[in-house]
Structures are given as C-alpha cells and as structure tokens.
Chains A and B, each alone.
Chain A
Amino acid sequence: MQVSMSINGEPFSYDVEPRMLLVHYIREMAELHGTHWGCDTSNCGICVVLMDGVPIKSCTTLAAQAEGHEITTVEGLEKDGVLDPIQQGFHEMHALQCGFCTPGTMVTGRWLIDKHPDPTNMTDYEIREAISGGLCRCTGYVNIVKAIRWAAAYEAAAATGGN
C-alpha cells in the first residue's frame, strides 16, 4: 500500500507492506537512522518520535497509522545549522553516554518544554514523569533532568534577549 507522510517537514511516500512498522518506515524507507529500536513492546522508548507534536513509540505504530501526519525525528531538531536547545542541553549536561536512547529522550524533552505552561519552573517530578516512558542504562537520568532544565532556561533567556 502507498503510505505518505511528512517527516521533519519533507514529504515521503512509499509503497510498503501494510504491516510495516513506523520505525522501519523511518529507518529503512526514509533512511533516517537517528531513530533507533529497542524492545518491540513499547517499554523502552528508544523509538520515540513526535507525531503532530506528540511523542509516540514508532515500534508499535504501523506506518499506515501515520498516513498524512507530521512526524518529527531527532534529525528534525537542528534548524539551519543551529542545534535545538534540547540538543545543546544534552551536550552541556553530559546527559548521554552510549547515545542509543538519546534521540527518543530528546524529542520527548522537546515536547515537554513545548507543552508545559511554565517550563522554567518544572518540578523534578514533572520532568521525570515525562521521560519515564523511556529507559536509559547509562546516565541514571540525573543529567537528563538537568539537560531538559538547561534547555528550558536557555529558551527563556533567549526569549528575553539573553538577559
């Protein structure tokens, strides 16, 4: 079947098997390898992408379910050669080690900051709850929490002209 969707603002359309998973559509058809795969059962969050701005697990979503939707992957975070603050925050705060879960966690962090009414005043629990759909075996999450805070603070400072 023909499945079309927008990924990071670019149109994609391929003739695929109806059973094809979205993660495989992204990796094998669109050849965007930044989205990884980890468990098959929606438990690890490695494969998280944004669909219309909301995090979903692409290993348990059929590509056909994304027909006509807007997908954002890690490759869509950097704009015009400028890193998204969430990417910069992960680097600044050493929020990644092996890097395998990082794309899914970063897009989740991006969603959290975007949807939170007051991102510079998020509680630790709010951040931890938001990323609890993902597993990380390297960082113990401490620096991921800091990185999301960093990005929120950076954006707030940028919005007020850096002061």
Chain B
Amino acid sequence: MATTESAPGKMASWLADATGGVTDAPIGFGRMKRKEDARFIRGKGNYLDDVRLPGMLHGAILRSPYAHARIVSIDTSKALAHPKVAAVVIAKDLETLGLAWMPTLSYDTQAVLAGDKVRFHLQEVAFVIALDAYSAQDALELIEVEYDVLPAIVNARKALDPNAPLIRDDKVGQTDNLASPTWEAGDKAATDRVFAEADTIVTRDIIDPRVHPAPMETCGMIADMNPQTGQLDIYNGNQAPHLHRTVYAQVAGLPEHNIRIMCNDIGGGFGNKVPVYPGYVCAIAGSIVAGAPVKWIEDRAENLASTGFARDYIMHSQMCAKNGKITGLRIDAIADHGAFDATAQPTKFPAGFFHIVTGSYDLEAAHCTVTAVYTNKAPGGVAYRCSFRITEAVYLVERMVEALAWEMDVDPIELRMRSFIRPEQFPYETATGWTYDSGDYHKTMKVAMEIADYEGLRREQQERLADGEIMGIGIAFFTEGVGAGPRKHMDLLGLAMNDGADIRVHPSGKAVVSISAQTQGQGHETTFAQIVAEELGISPNDITVRHGDTDKTPYGFGTYGSRSTPVSGGAVAVVSRKVRDKARLIAARMLETRPEDLAWEKGRWYVRGDVSKGAAIEDIAAYAYSGSPMPEGLEGDLDAQAVYDPPNLTYPYGAYISVVDIDPGTGHVHLRRFIAVDDCGVRINPLVVDGQIHGGLAEGVGQALMQVVSFDEQGNCMNASFMDYLLPTALECPDFELGETVTPCPHHPIGAKGVGESPCVGSPPCITNAVVDGLRVWTNGRVRHMDMPCNPARTWAAMQGNAAPPQ
C-alpha cells in the first residue's frame, strides 16, 4: 500500500513487531499481511449491492405468511397499477418460461414461486420488479393472495406419522413425508456383536438443532439478460460460480457459454452462499420479462427464514466400551430437510459425510442410519462452515465419548487417549469406510493439555465447587474429512468435484494465476499467490490471483467444505510445477546445457556443480517471449494449465479444551477460556490460518450457546431477525488460545489439509461438553445431557431438573 509509506514507516514496523505483528512478504509460505486488505480498509470493496448497471430495476419477493396453505388465488392488478412497478411475476408466469420449479443439489425439485401451495413460512410467492427498491417493497403490499390454511408439521418425528398431512403432494407417487430412502453405513451385524460383548453402553438422544450461517452480507443477484445477444450476465456472491453457471444452463435452458457469472467481493458465505435460491431464478426471469437488469437482494429476515439453514439432525445414539476402551457406535438419525431437499451433497452420500461419525477413534465396529424427512420448514441443509454434515458427526461422537467416560468413571481425556487411532495405524480405514491419511492424535491432545494446564483446571473445578461456583471443563477431539473430492469416489450433479488453475507468466516474470475457488474472506489473493511464490520463487506481490469470473477462470467447484487449499490449492501447486518444468527446458537452451544437468533453487534453475551459472525465472520468462529460438516443440510462453483431482480427502484434526463458568442463579454460561490446537498440515500463511481459526471458534461459540432457528406449532419461524437469532459479539468470545502441531498431508502437493472449518466443527461439542461437565459436577452427576444452544433458559432448566424450553 503505497499511501502508507508517507506515514512514519520505521515506527510502523517497530510497532508491528512489538505487538506480535507481521513481517514483509515472504517468497513463499510464511506470515504475510493480506494483499486484499488495501481496498477493504478504504471502503472500496465491490460487493453485490455496490454494482450499478444502467437502467437497473429492483426486485422484491412477496412471501407466505403461512407454513402450509393452499393458494386459492393471487391478484396482482393493484401492484401492476403502481406507477413505478415494471412487472409482477407469479408461478404461472414462470411456467411459461419453464422456470416454475428448479432442481436442487440433492436431485429434488423446489418451487421458485409457489403456485399450488406454500410449504414453509415466508416461502416465495410473487416477485415484483420496480424502478426503485422502496417502490418494490410498497408494491408487495398491493398483491392480494387468498390462502386455504393447512395443518403444518415442524417436528421431524411427527412428519413420520402415517397420518401426517402430505407435504410434497406435487411429487408423483409420494405418499408419505420421507424425502429419500433411509441411508446406512457401516456393518450392522458386526456392530450388534460388539455391543453384545461390551462392558458399558451409554445411550443418548442428541439433537443438533437447526441453525443458520448468517453471513453479514445477505444473498442476492443482479441478472442482466441481453435480449439482442442472448447473453446473460450475472452478478452474484456465491461460493461456486462455475457450478451455478451449469445449474442455470440446465434450469433456464440457456447455452452455458452465453452465461457469465461475476462474483466480486463477498461478505461472508459459510455455506449459505452455496445453493441456488428462488430469488436468483426470479432475478433472471425478471430480467427476461422486463428486458433490463434486475437487482434482488434479500433482507435479513428473508436470509434467516428462507435460505440455507444447517444441521437439524435428531440422533438416537449408543456408544460402548470394553476393557476400558471405546469399541462400538451405532446411530439412528432423522434428518429434517424442510419442504424441499436442497441439501448440498455429493451424489453417493445423501447424508453427506455424516458416516465419518467414528471420529478419531479405533473402533471395532460402527453402524449408522439416516432417515430424511420433509417438514413445513425452509429448505437448505447446507454445510455451515463444515464439510457435508461432519459437524453433526463430530458433535455426536464427542458428546458420546464424554458421556461414556463419565459412565465408566474415567477422565474423558484418558478415555480418548486409550481409544485414539495410533500414529502407526495410518493410513487407517475406519469402520464406516474412510481412509484417514495421517495423524498423531496423542501428541496434539497433549499439547492442548499443556496449554490449558488440564490437571490444574480439574483441581480448580473442585475448589470452586467448594466455594459454591459452577465451573465446567469441556474437551473435543475432532477429525474432519475435507477437500471434496476424488472423482473416483464422489460427484455433485454428475460433475467431478475437481478444480482447475492456470498461470500466465508475463515477459517481466510477473504472473497472473486464475483459480476456480471463490474467496468470501479467506484471503485467496494472498495465500494462492504464496503457493505460486513457494513453487516458482516469484514474489507474491508480483502475482495477481484472478477469481470469481466464469469467463476468466478455469472450471472448478468453488469454496466450501474447506476445499480451497486441499483441491484448488493443489491445482495451483501442480500448475506452478508445470511452469517450472517448462522453465527448465527453456533454461537449458539459454545455458546451452541439458535439462537433466540443471538443478532448482527457489526462483532459479542452475547448472549442477556451478551455482553461479543459472537462469532466474524472470530471465526465463523474458527469453520465452523474446525473439530467441525456443527448445524444440515448445511454444513461446511460460504458461500452463492444470486440473487437480485429489487422490483422497484430507483429514485435519485438532484438540480443543474449553472452560466455562455458569451462574447458579441465572444459568448464564460465561466462556472463560478456549484452547485450540489444530493440525492442518503445512500452513501457507500462519496469520491467515490463525484468523480462520479465530472466526470458526466464534461461530462455534454461537452455535453452542446462542444460535437456533425454531418454529411455533403453526410453523412460524421464530428467529427471523438478529433480535431473536443471536450471534456472538466481542463480549461472548474469549481471547482464544491457539497451539499447533504439523503433520503434513502425505498425498497433497504442499502437504496442506485445509483449516477454515475445523474450528467451527470442533468447538460446539467442546463448549457443550464444558456446560454439561459443569452441571454434572454441580448436581452430583444428575445432569448428564443438554442439547444446544446452552442459553440461560435451557441451562437453568437443566440445573433445576426441569424439561428444557424448546430449542
């Protein structure tokens, strides 16, 4: 940032060092301040609502006040008479365009605008297009809809009742509320045998409640269909622009090459910006109907009540032990998908990666079933800062280990230590079929214990108890499978989950790398430049990372499930190595030697045995574009392309310990300490890694203590604003204490595993375990379970032995 140089620069660097700050850009991996900050700290980001197109109109959506109702009639005449309204679109208009229903990422269909009936509170019913946003809102109130209200079902267990009202009567042959056949993993017979031989069995009904990712920027789109050329330009903050383009081509029947998606800056995603939403299709249809660009941006209530929720798993769970070690696990889960199964899942895994539920433990057998049901709730089922249902799985196994330990009267860390997969067992095939690549779980757990002073904490807990204070200590040890995924194992909508990358090295030796990952704050413009820098020796400051524009980037699957570094990062490393290989051939020509006689040091090929004789990457680039002769068969550039198909998922893991103080009078939980020791393999930029961990932990604090989307008996969404859907502020979050171990991923080009989601996966069970631990000690063992969120009302009720208020 040139403008900062006029400030007292020496002092700035002194202060940075004094406060544990950052150093100058490394040529490769290491702590580096972010390149993208320059525009954000000046208020010059370019988010969706900042995009202005000539003649742009504004859309707004009329939503259903009922969770389940037949639509008798819709009268739009008064809205159309509004002087600033350009058009009103309802389901029958979409039918003529073939856009009334859209496919979901789980092979279901979802109504874009409800035509026959509404199936969840605040479902999309009509789309108004007006000259300005205020007028569009005014016109919504002029639309008259007559409803015939039906009984609503918001409880997944009740939805399974044979007498329950049928929600999806639009589906031919659908006679019940099952969203898909019950899915299972693991060996049931072997699991039953292990349980029959067990010393100890614990049983818990565990609910991972419905939550919403709630990025600070809501979802929206600007669609600009050019009627003359048939070109559809889309501005949209989504996490997978290439996948969205393919979906729009399928939905709208438009040629894929005539669709261009531009994701500029995105104000957070966390899984909420993976799916295609009805509002997006409405914006596209609106642009077709109105013949002008149409902007639609949802408000916060629309975001929380209608777009991608997460979790909503009800899990009947049993875990058993023999001879002091965990031996088996079995689960029957119900997945509440809402009115449409819009879950983002790889095809073969309708319950996502839930069957990674055996966690970090060497179990003899495990078995799980997942039954998917429809309810009158909003669709979604997104991977909220996790990899396809791994949060649910980790929450379950870590709650169960805790319960089993206290049942056995063994310290919960001791039981984990006895049951961990041992380092020499890697690669390790789990009871449900995953092949973990690497790990040293005992070591990471010990690092966390040291930072926390675990023994000291247990002593303190007893001392405080004697003083009438409730202190709880929680532990979680998670293993995630991220970086979907290998094409031999998985696909999404029939498409391989791979990522492309291309590099263009210019004559000056500076480069542009284009990627298919899509940053929403992860810092790709810095860290992906660092990967190229590490591989080619070009300064990250001389590398531009291009992303977010489907016309300018190679095909790939985007950013979610911690797949940026594991997949797209792999692509960038591989394509960099292609450039390096080509540079070697050119350098041999320049140095009049054979390629095999050259050796590489960062940024330079040199003649073995004579380090002084070599060619730097910028010299090689200059040569490639000069008039000098190229080696036989090589074209005159220093560019390369690659598509990376990961051989396996990566398996980051971590040991977390938390300390809570619970007010005996109010049930308020104060999170006093949180220790997170993550092993995400090789760290590209520790500054960014730490930032990712801080953010993920805060989201876990929210889920454990505050966040929940609930419904009343009529199916009304009770948490459609930040007054009712509580997110953690700076006061609820402690100063997180981080540690690390580094076990490089053996199959990843740079040994990295991905980290963005680990903290959000590991922290909810860790904090919940701490709350239950505190209550267990306080009530002399009576309290053995709580479901999230551990808010004051629910925690206080648990303390009193009362039934918990509804989630």
Contact = CB atoms under 8 A, between A and B. Distances in A.
A146 B19 contact: yes
A87 B300 contact: no
Contacts of A82: 3-4, 6-7
A132 to B, nearest CB: 4
A71 to B, nearest CB: 13
A78 interface: yes
Given A92-B21, A94-B33, A38 B15 contact: no
A62 B723 CA distance: 20
| Chain B binding surface, main DSSP class | loop
Contacts of A87: 41-42
B6 A81 contact: yes
Of the four ranges (under 10, 10 to 19, 20 to 34, 35 or more), the interface on chain A belongs to 35 or more
A91 B3 contact: no
Contacts of A102: 40-41
B138 to A, nearest CB: 10
B442 interface: no
Interface in B1-37: 1, 3-4, 6-8, 10-12, 15-16, 18-22, 33-34, 36-37
B729 A134 contact: yes
Given A19-B134, A35-B43, A150 B15 contact: yes
A101 B10 contact: no
Interface in B661-683: none
Nearest to B7: A82
A144 B33 CA distance: 15
A73 interface: yes
B11 A162 contact: yes
B694 A142 contact: yes
B731 interface: yes
**Residue of A88, A133, A142, A154 most packed against chain B (CB within 10 A):** A142
Given A73-B43, A143-B691, A154-B12, A91 B37 contact: yes
B300 A141 contact: no
Contacts of A134: 729
Contacts of B4: 82-83, 88
Contact of A154 (B11, B40, B266): B11
B40 to A, nearest CB: 3
A41 B721 contact: yes
22 contacts: A36-B267, A39-B722, A75-B42, A77-B42, A81-B3, A82-B6, A83-B4, A88-B12, A88-B41, A92-B19, A98-B268, A99-B40, A99-B267, A100-B45, A100-B215, A127-B730, A128-B729, A132-B730, A139-B698, A141-B729, A154-B12, A162-B11
A101 B695 CA distance: 13
**Residue of B18, B42, B723 most packed against chain A (CB within 10 A):** B42
A94 B34 contact: yes
B59 to A, nearest CB: 16
B752 to A, nearest CB: 18
Interface string A84-123: 0001101111101111111100100000000000000000
Nearest to A78: B42
Given A100-B215, A103-B43, A137-B215, 19 more contacts: A34-B42, A36-B47, A75-B43, A82-B7, A91-B38, A92-B33, A94-B22, A96-B521, A97-B695, A98-B216, A99-B36, A135-B722, A136-B216, A137-B727, A141-B733, A142-B694, A142-B733, A146-B20, A162-B8
Interface string B94-111: 000000000000000000
Given A19-B134, A36-B47, A153-B19, A158 B8 contact: yes
Contact of B694 (A39, A124, A127, A143): A143
A33 B696 CA distance: 28
